[in-house]
Structure 1
Amino acid sequence: MRWWLLVVACCVFACSSKETVPPVPDAGPSPTSCARREDCEGGQVCTLAGVCGACESSGQCRLKERCDDEARACVLREGWGTDCETNEACAFGLWCRQGLCLARTQVVLCPSGARGECPTGQRCNGSTLVCEEDLGCVEDADCGAEERCNAGLHACVARCTEATSCGEGEHCTEGLCVQCDVDTDCAVGFVCDAAGRCSSTPRCYSDRDCDVPRVCHLASGACLPRPPPCGSDDDCAMDQRCDLGTGTCGPRACQPDALEPNDTVSTAFPVSASRYVKLTLCPDDVDHYSLTLERGDQLGVNVDAEVFAESVFSTTLQDARGRVLATGHFRMSHVVAERGTYTVRVASCDTLPRAYDIGFFLSRGTPCDDDVHEPNDTVDTATDLPERLSLEGMVCPGEQDHVRFTVPAAQGVKVSLSGYAADRGLLRLCLLGESGGVELGCSQDAEGAIVSLPAPTVAGQRLTARVVGDDARTTNGYTLQVEWLP
């Protein structure tokens, strides 16, 4: 009996002395894996880690949503709902507008489905034929049949083709008019951004590009912590006006900037490869900047002002003899052929004062001797083809050569390039129509540059041949030969 009691006592001691293991706390549900926004619920977004989480910008949400800066969740924008997607989903007499069923008096119809039937800032919903707030786009499906989505701009733009002329300094790539496809398409100091535009610094095109609660100030391309202090003169004091370029109140009378006087070449302000800020162009004012460049240097100039004012700005580069070497609006680039003092001229054709910043970017390069046909960097300054139907030329970095000729009646044309070294950069040949804006044909073969066009296409027309380097640093000589085809 005693041995049994001993065994029981040992068991009791062992059980009572065993270490107590605390319960494992509940870590909560594991994050939901995702591949896109639609895989997440409760206003969460699909993060870069591939799991559902909080949003940081409205760009992570659907078009009709915004990222709430307090809840950090995607919520519907004001004036949008989920009650309907088609008119049939609404009661009789009601129309579906922005996901809400509304009375006829509360909607604007667009019977033909055209954007032009809608008020400014709205576009036509092709399914409901009702005008809705234009929220931009994230893919082509958000745009009309004749449009493409420029995802960088967050906007639907007219679809272009090879035969469609884009704006100055633009070309057509996959249906979009862009300034660049890669960084090398831009001047020194610039990069090609998501919208296909050359920019010296990253910029925003919509609030969707900014982390909440910041918003995009389109004029400067900066994400600001709050809206600018003024949107019109009504927001400023009586003796002030609102500068829409900066969103700030300033004197009604235009005040000269710190670099004045620099209204003439002789009073040009000497600059270096740097950035100069808080400058002003008063009405009928012209600003000049001078700098010394070495032979082969590539100069890039970037004017940073209200984005919608680009067309009123004019930027030119001229040498000591007053010859204009390069022109542009906000951007300009040129490789100089000789050492000397050069002047950058900035002007505006606007009747209002214009605030701007300007940056100068410099890249030391290999000297390149221009040919005797310069300047012929534009269609307007094209060289006339000699009677022998051939021409010796040289493409220097950042340049384009243009040669003009008339095709005889009832004949076609074949234009070719030869005599250039492939190891010094490939050359591309294009034939432009009479207006100089439409490309009729371009060389595609990397081993040789030849373009042939039949008589029905070009007979009797005044054409321009354009020779350009494969990239901005190409330096190569060539022989251009023209032949008439029966």
Structure 2
Amino acid sequence: MRPGWWLVGLCWLFACSSTEKVPPGPDVDPAPKTCARREDCDGGQVCTLAEVCGACESSGQCRLRERCEAGTCIAREGWGEACVAHANCGLGQWCRQGLCRARTDVVPCPMGTREECPTGERCNAGTLVCEEDLGCLEDADCGAEERCNPGLHACVSRCTEATASAVCAEGEHCANERCVRCEEDSDCAVGFTCDAAGRCTVTPRCYSDRDCTVPQVCHLASGQCLPSLPPCSSDDDCESDRRCDLGSRACIPRSCQPDALEPNDSVGTAHPVSASRHVRLTLCPGDVDHYSLTLERGDQLGVNVEAEVFAEPMFSASLQDASGRVLATGRFRLSHVAAERGLYTVRIASRDTVPRAYDVGFFLSRGTPCDDDDHEPNDTVEMATVLPEGLRLDGMLCPGDADHLRFSVPPSRGARVSLSGYSAVRGLLHLCVLNGGTELGCSLDTTGARVDLPASTVQGRSLTARVTGDDARTTNGYTLQVEWLP
């Protein structure tokens, strides 16, 4: 045996130390790549909050054309990167959703409008073909007459103060060219916050699957991220005594079953409540649910109904006092400040012909008493108080309140509507004059609001003056005066 051979053998059996640096094996993770935006990352990774490239958790972190799967952003089904224009495709083919397609697979939209496309699609302004409507992340994803509502992930019609009544839904107003219900938390009732979609909500809700962590999906009816949607897509998926509600995709009884709080179909049988939340309730066709509670002077009550989003137009909620006088109305929510101590009743109904499931929350805040004026209820245009012959009226605006006052303009005359007698320290008052639901003019001033309208615009018309607070907490008295202009 050669001298030293045994040492080699020992080194073969046992790892001998060496000063040489061994390169890391394939299972050693390199340092994550830093980033500032999604485009800085490769391989389907996203730029995380820590500003490093990493795995996605929801499709909302990916591009519109992508979805998150197993931590990686991949192209959505039916989308690709093969083309951006028809010129990128072969003869006779058109570029649709980043893929070259046969002419028979493409619906053109030569005018560039959404109306030319099938439901669920919109026109690509660059290629003038209809594509799947994936929503939006920014205004650039929308058409020329649209803006992106990032909370809803949807392109919505642009609005202005002048077009708000025609463009926006009931209860919405125009802010930054978008129709919203709120701009900040103070615009909402007690217990609510204003979400990214401009809607008042008790808890954060989802509006699409992009809001949910993979593999959860968004259940629009509840606004919750769930492991999977309710099980049915047709009556065949349900037991024989149940049917499929396609709106919520849930199996419900074929004959409407009363909930645990019934009977509460009248004021006399109203279910007593306090600051609380009640779930898994049901409104059968033609049913009306009543809830009673005692309020002290100055108490602010907020009522929030949670049901399928698309059922909102069918719902109605109202608050009335012991005499039956309606004090506040809404659909999914209402708010009111009690002028006096007493028993109040909340009434919830649905005009739908099918049973509707819902939850309801009651939120209570103790506040400074506010004595309402004798002209209530006049919280809507339809409930407006008619101005007396002297065209002058003294009123009181309580928190969350809106006063509406109606008057008729003589032929060949204009009108000047003014507010005075209020203290800016207690909150500014906002004056608007409306023709039906259309605003003709508005004013907000620390010393006195005034709106002048020419005869050419208002002569012979029945108009409504609306007085609101600068925010939901405003409490102020005022004097409203109408004068005729030549």
Q: What TM-score do the two structures reach when normalised by structure 1? A: 0.91
Structure 1 match to 2:449: 449
Matches within 5 A, 1:27-426: 29-68=30-69, 70=70, 72-164=71-163, 165=165, 166-244=168-246, 246-426=248-428
Q: Distance in 1 between matches of 2:252 and 2:380?
A: 40
Stretches of structure 1 that go unaligned for 5 or more consecutive residues are 1-18
Structure 1 distance, partners of 2:291, 2:242, is 29
- Cα deviation for residue 114 of structure 1 reads 2.3
Can you list the C-alpha shifts for 1:410-432, whole angstroms capped at 9, x where unaligned?
Answer: 33322222211222111111111
Pick closer, same or farther for the CA change 1:376–1:457 going to 2, 3 Å: same
CA displacement at 1:29 relative to structure 2: 4.5
Q: Which runs of 4+ in 1 moved over 4 A?
A: 19-29
Q: Which moved more, 1:404-413 or 1:158-167?
A: 404-413
1:294 is displaced (CA, Å) by 1.0
Equivalenced residues, count: 464
Q: Structure 2: how far apart are the matches of 1:232 and 1:185?
A: 40
Listed one character per residue, the Cα deviations across residues 1-43 of structure 1 (whole Å, up to 9, x for unaligned) are: xxxxxxxxxxxxxxxxxx9878598676543332221222111
Cα separation, partners in 2 of 1:53 and 1:185, compared to 1, 3 Å: same
CA 1:24–1:460 in 2, change beyond 3 Å: closer, same or farther?
Answer: farther
Q: Does structure 2 retain, via aligned residues, the 8 Å contact 1:430–1:441?
A: yes
Question: Do the aligned residues in 2 keep the contact of 1:109 with 1:129 (CA within 8 Å)?
Answer: yes
Contact 2:33–2:52 under 8 Å retained in 1: yes
Q: Deviations over 1:417-464 (max 9, x none)?
A: 22112221111111112x1x1111111434432222233332332221
Identity fraction in percent: 74
Distance 1:455 1:248 in 2: 57
Query: Aligned partners of 1:125 and 1:108: how far apart in 2?
Result: 11
CA distance in 1, matches of 2:72, 2:56: 6
CA contact (8 A) 2:135 2:153 kept: yes
User: Does the Cα contact within 8 Å between 2:320 and 2:326 map onto a contact in 1?
Assistant: yes
Give 3-state SS (helix, strand or coil) of 1:75's partner: strand
Q: Aligned equivalents of 1:253 and 1:202: distance in 2?
A: 33
Superposed CA offset, 1:48-75 (max 9, x none): 122222111111111000111x2x0111
Could you tell me which runs of 5 or more consecutive residues in structure 2 were left unpaired when the two chains were aligned: 1-16
**TM-score if structure 2 supplies the norm length?**
0.91
Q: Secondary structure at the match of 1:308?
A: helix
Is the partner of 1:250 in helix, strand or coil? strand
Assess if the C-alpha contact under 8 Å between 1:304 and 1:358 holds in 2. yes
In the other structure, the counterpart of 1:481 is: 481
The 1:244/1:290 distance shift into structure 2, 3 A limit, reads farther
Further displaced range: 403-412 or 143-152 = 403-412
The CA RMSD measured in Å over matched residues stands at: 1.9
The range that moved more, 234-243 or 347-356, is 234-243
Residue 295 of structure 1 aligns with an amino acid whose one-letter code is R
Q: Secondary structure at the match of 1:211?
A: coil
